[in-house]
């Protein structure tokens, strides 16, 4: 795409990225995710085969499976790097930040990264939002996503256990993680998401406040309102 004339020898671009090989892999990976999303949005999950996706990016089916362990993983945008980044960020926060607060911080930071297209996956925020639209409209994809989130949950729970300093906190850590991820999922797939990432942030804020305050409180608001 970009010319980037040769400097001297066989070097050509962007020293920030490890090399041409890595860059190509990244490009292919992103192209597969984007193509898969487009096709599924258009025809529905069941009517898109792996072959369709591979053809759209002009790689072999076998290569597709070098990039993703399953069709679902590709559509859902599964990314080990991304999960690891989340976990590392969590581990990097000061130890006196509470689990709920820590998860909250990390998720919002991730939302911002995606919004500004500086997410580690290199995924465009437009693609990311489109995925949520598909999630909302296609139950099969939504369920696959739930599965994916369960994997993420595992990783984040482990990190929280480390932060809290011992296995005796695992049950508590699990509860907080599952709850926070549930909230993010609901917010992400709620119809309010029509408003883009900004709307999601707002919804998420409210949901977190509600969580911190306890559900019954909100419930009392409800009663008061009628």
Partner DNA sequence: GCACATATTTGCACTATGTGCAACATAGCT
Partner DNA sequence: AGCTATGTTGCACATAGTGCAAATATGTGC
Question: CA distances (Å), 104 to each of 61, 88, 97, 143, 182, in order?
Answer: 39, 14, 10, 24, 12
Per CB under 7 A, the segment of 47-55, 163-171, 194-202, 203-211 that binds DNA is: 47-55
Distance, CA of 214 to CA of 11 (rounded, Å) = 58
Q: Is 65 in the site for DNA (CB under 7 A)?
A: yes
* Residue 97: strand, helix, or coil: coil
Closer of 14 and 209 to DNA (Cβ):
14
Q: Residue ranges of the alpha helices (H) in the chain?
A: 20-43, 50-57, 61-67, 71-76, 80-92, 99-115, 125-137, 139-164, 170-189, 196-213, 215-225
Of the candidates 154, 169, 200, 155, the one whose C-alpha atom is nearest the C-alpha of residue 99 is 169
Q: Which residues bind its own copies (CB under 8 A)?
A: 98-100, 139, 142-144, 146-147, 149-151, 154, 164, 170-172, 174-176, 178-179, 181-183, 185-187, 190-192, 203, 207, 210-219, 222
Task: Determine if residue 70 is left, alpha or beta; phi over 0 gives left, psi from -120 to 50 gives alpha, anything else beta.
Answer: beta
Which one among 4, 14, 42, 63 touches DNA, defined by CB under 7 A?
Answer: 63
152 interacts with, out of its own copies, DNA, none, CB within 5 to 8 A per kind: none
Of 14-22, 86-94, 159-167, 191-199, the segment contacting DNA by CB under 7 A is: 14-22
From the list 4, 60, 220, 221, which residue makes contact with DNA (rule: CB under 7 A)?
60
Using alpha carbons, select from 205, 202, 180 the residue that is nearest to residue 193: 202
What is the closest distance, in whole angstroms, from the C-beta atom of residue 113 to its own copies in the complex? 24
183 binds, among its own copies, DNA, none (CB under 5 to 8 A by kind): its own copies
CA angle 150-32-65, nearest 5°?
70
8 binds, among DNA, its own copies, none (CB under 5 to 8 A by kind): none
Q: Would you say 14 or 206 has its CB closer to DNA?
A: 14
Half-sphere exposure of 218 (CA within 13 A, CB side): 10
Which partner, its own copies, DNA, none, binds residue 28 by CB below 5 to 8 Å per kind? DNA
Member of 14, 42, 51, 205 binding DNA (CB under 7 A): 51
Contacted by 186, from DNA, its own copies, none: CB < 5 to 8 Å by type: its own copies
């Amino acid at each position: 795409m970009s010319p980037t004339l040769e400097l001297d020898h066989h070097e050509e671009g962007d020293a920030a990225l490890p090399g041409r090989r890595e860059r190509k892999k990244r490009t292919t990976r992103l192209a597969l995710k984007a193509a898969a999303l487009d096709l599924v949005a258009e025809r529905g999950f069941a009517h898109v085969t792996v072959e369709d996706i591979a053809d759209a990016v002009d790689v072999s089916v076998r290569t597709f499976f070098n990039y993703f362990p399953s069709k679902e993983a590709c559509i859902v945008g599964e990314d080990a790097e991304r999960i690891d980044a989340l976990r590392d960020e969590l581990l990097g926060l000061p130890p006196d930040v509470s689990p709920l607060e820590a998860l909250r911080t990390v998720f919002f930071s991730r939302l911002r990264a995606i919004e500004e297209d500086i997410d580690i996956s290199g995924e465009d925020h437009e693609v990311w939002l489109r995925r949520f639209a598909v999630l909302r409209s296609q139950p099969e994809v939504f369920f696959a996503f739930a599965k994916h989130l369960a994997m993420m949950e595992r990783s984040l729970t482990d990190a929280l256990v480390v932060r809290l300093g011992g296995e005796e906190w695992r049950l508590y850590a699990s509860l907080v993680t599952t709850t926070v991820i549930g909230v993010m999922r609901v917010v992400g797939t709620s119809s309010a998401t029509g408003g883009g990432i900004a709307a999601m942030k707002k919804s998420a804020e409210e949901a977190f406040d509600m969580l911190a305050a306890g559900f019954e409180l909100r419930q009392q608001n409800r009663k008061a309102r009628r």
